[in-house]
C-alpha cells in the first residue's frame, strides 16, 4: 500500500503539451478518481505514474520516495487496462497465477498466493472453473485477482468499465468499491463519467485541457466548485450561471442582485471590480411570486419524483429542479428564489 504524490508533472509531445504541471497527493488506501473529458490528459498522467511514460518535467513520489526515473516493473504498481479481459483457455486459478508464473516464482509459493488472493476476493469455490462460465461480477474479481496476486502497492485503472452498458456498469462500480474497501489498496481510477467518479471516489481530481482544476471530495467539488468548468462538468443538469455586471470591490461582504443582498463567499479579498456570475444548482431554486429575478417558463422535463423546469430570464436560461407535483405552465411568468447560502460566485473576466 502506498501514498502517491505527483509534483508539477508536465508532459509534452513535440510542440503539444498534454499535461501542464499537475500537483496532487493520493492518500494511502484512498479510492482516487481522475475525472475529465476525453483528451484532457488522464491517460497520460496515469501512464507517467505507472512508469510507462517519462515526464517532461516534475516528480512522482511513492511513499515519499522519488520513483520518477524508475522503470515500470520496479514500481510495484498494477496497471489494470480492462477488467474483463481474461485468458479463455485457462481456468480461474491459472488466470490468477499467470503473472507469478511469468516472474518465475516457485510452484508452491504460487499456489499459496493464489489461495490467499481467492480468499480475499471470495472466489475460492471458483478456482477450477472455466472463465467462460463466470458471471460478470466474478470475471471482474478474477481480473482484479490477477492484478492483486503480485501484491502491488497501488492499482491504476484506466476507464476499466468503459465498454459495458450503463446498468451493468453501475453494478460493477459498487462491486469494485466494495472490493476496494475490503482490500484497502490505493486505487487511481480514471473516468470521463462524473457519476462514476462521484459515487465511487474518496477524492476526485477534475482535469481540463491538461490542467487539474480542482482536487477534493465529491461533496467539496459539488458544493464549492473552484471554477466554472468544474461547476459545469459536475451535476446533471449542471450548475446555472447568472451573469451580471455587478462588480465586487476589495473588502465587500455582500453583493446586491435584484434588490436581494447575498453574502459573499470565497471571493472578496483581493478581487478587483469584475463582471461576475452567480452559480446556482437546479435544486437550490424555487418558484416564489415575490422573488425579484423573473422569467418565462420555457419547458418542463418530467423525471419521476422531480421535474426539470427551464426558465428564460434576462441573465440567461435557468434550470430548476422542482417536485413533480408543482404545477407549471409553459409560457407563464415566474419569480425565482435562490438559496443564498448555496450560491457560488465566479469571476468571469
Ligand atoms: P484522456 O485520457 O484524458 O482522454 P490522453 O492523456 O490520452 O487524454 O491525451 C491527452 C492529449 O495528449 C490528447 O490530445 C492526445 O491526442 C495527446 N497525446 C496522448 N498521447 C500522445 C502521444 N503519444 N503523442 C502525441 N500526442 C499524444
Ligand atoms: Mg484516456
Query: Ion ligand 2 — residues with CB under 5 Å?
Result: 43
Same domain, 315 and 274: yes
- How many domains is the chain partitioned into structurally? 2
Other CB atoms within 10 Å distance of the CB of residue 197: 26
Q: Note the pLDDT of residue 329.
A: 96
Same domain, 224 and 183: yes
Domain hosting residue 309, numbered range: 237-347
Q: Note the pLDDT of residue 138.
A: 87
Q: Note the pLDDT of residue 268.
A: 44
208, 240, 273, 305, 322 from 347: Cα distances, Å: 18, 14, 9, 34, 28
**Considering every ligand atom, which ligand is closest to the CA of 39?**
1
Distance 34 CA to ligand 2 centre (A): 10
* Coil/strand/helix, residue 28: coil
Same domain, 91 and 193: yes
- pTM for this predicted structure: 0.89
Q: Is 123 a pocket residue for ligand 1 (Cβ < 6 Å)?
A: no
Same domain, 20 and 122: yes
Same domain, 333 and 203: no
Report whether 268 contacts 251 (CB < 8 A).
yes
What's the CATH code of the domain at 278? 2.40.50.140
Q: Which of 164, 198, 231 is the last residue of a domain?
A: 231
Q: Is 18 a pocket residue for ligand 1 (Cβ < 6 Å)?
A: yes
Query: Angle, to 10 degrees, between the axis of helix 166-183 and the axis of helix 136-148?
Result: 40
Distance 38 CA to ligand 2 centre (A): 7
Q: Is the ipTM of this complex over 0.90?
A: yes
**What distance in Å separates the CA atoms of residue 84 and residue 154, rounded to the nearest whole number?**
19
Q: Note the pLDDT of residue 139.
A: 87
Q: Is 42 a pocket residue for ligand 1 (Cβ < 6 Å)?
A: yes
Q: Is 38 a pocket residue for ligand 1 (Cβ < 6 Å)?
A: yes
Q: Closest Cα to atom 7, ligand 1: which residue?
A: 43
What's the CATH code of the domain at 28? 3.40.50.300
Same domain, 226 and 242: no
**What distance in Å separates the CA atoms of residue 108 and residue 106, rounded to the nearest whole number?**
6
Spans in the chain with pLDDT lower than 50: 268-269
Same domain, 248 and 335: yes
Same domain, 181 and 285: no
Tens digit of each residue's pLDDT (9 = 90 or more) over 51-72: 999 999 999 999 999 999 999 9
Q: Note the pLDDT of residue 274.
A: 65
**What distance in Å separates the CA atoms of residue 5 and residue 9, rounded to the nearest whole number?**
10
Distance 176 CA to ligand 2 centre (A): 20
Place of cell 470521463: 192
Amino acid at each position: 500500500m502506498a501514498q502517491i504524490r505527483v509534483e508539477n508533472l508536465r508532459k509534452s509531445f513535440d510542440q503539444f503539451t498534454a499535461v501542464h504541471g499537475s500537483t496532487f497527493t493520493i492518500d494511502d488506501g484512498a479510492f482516487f478518481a481522475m475525472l475529465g473529458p476525453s483528451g484532457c490528459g488522464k491517460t497520460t498522467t496515469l501512464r507517467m505514474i505507472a512508469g510507462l511514460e517519462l515526464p517532461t518535467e516534475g516528480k512522482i513520489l511513492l511513499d515519499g520516495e522519488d520513483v520518477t526515473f524508475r522503470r515500470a516493473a520496479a514500481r510495484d504498481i498494477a496497471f489494470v487496462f480492462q477488467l474483463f479481459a481474461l485468458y479463455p483457455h485457462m481456468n480461474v486459478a491459472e488466470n490468477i497465477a499467470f503473472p507469478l508464473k511469468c516472474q518465475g516464482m516457485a510452484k508452491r509459493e504460487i499456489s499459496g498466493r493464489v489461495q490467499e488472493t481467492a480468499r480475499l476476493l471470495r472466489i475460492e469455490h471458483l478456482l477450477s472453473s472455466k472463465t467462460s462460465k463466470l458471471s460478470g461480477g466474478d470475471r471482474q474479481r478474477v481480473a482484479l485477482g490477477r492484478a492483486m496476486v503480485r501484491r502491488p502497492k497501488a492499482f491504476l485503472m484506466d476507464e476499466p468499465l468503459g465498454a459495458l452498458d450503463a446498468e451493468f456498469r453501475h453494478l460493477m462500480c459498487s462491486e469494485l468499491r466494495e472490493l476496494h474497501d475490503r482490500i484497502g489498496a490505493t486505487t487511481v481510477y480514471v473516468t470521463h463519467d462524473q457519476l462514476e467518479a462521484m459515487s465511487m471516489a474518496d477524492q476526485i481530481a477534475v482535469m481540463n485541457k491538461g490542467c487539474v482544476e480542482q482536487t477534493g471530495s465529491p461533496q467539496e467539488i459539488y458544493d464549492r466548485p473552484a471554477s466554472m468548468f468544474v461547476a459545469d462538468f459536475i451535476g446533471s443538469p449542471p450548475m446555472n450561471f447568472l451573469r451580471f455586471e455587478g462588480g465586487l470591490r476589495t473588502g465587500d461582504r455582500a453583493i446586491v442582485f435584484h434588490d436581494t443582498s447575498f453574502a459573499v463567499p470565497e471571493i472578496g479579498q483581493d478581487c478587483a471590480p469584475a463582471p461576475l456570475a452567480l452559480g446556482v444548482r437546479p435544486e437550490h431554486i424555487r418558484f416564489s411570486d415575490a422573488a425579484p429575478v423573473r422569467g418565462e417558463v420555457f419547458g418542463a422535463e418530467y423525471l419521476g419524483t422531480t421535474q426539470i423546469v427551464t426558465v428564460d430570464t434576462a441573465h440567461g436560461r435557468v434550470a430548476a429542479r422542482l417536485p413533480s407535483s408543482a404545477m407549471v405552465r409553459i409560457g407563464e411568468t415566474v419569480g425565482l428564489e435562490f438559496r443564498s447560502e448555496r450560491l457560488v460566485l465566479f469571476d468571469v473576466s
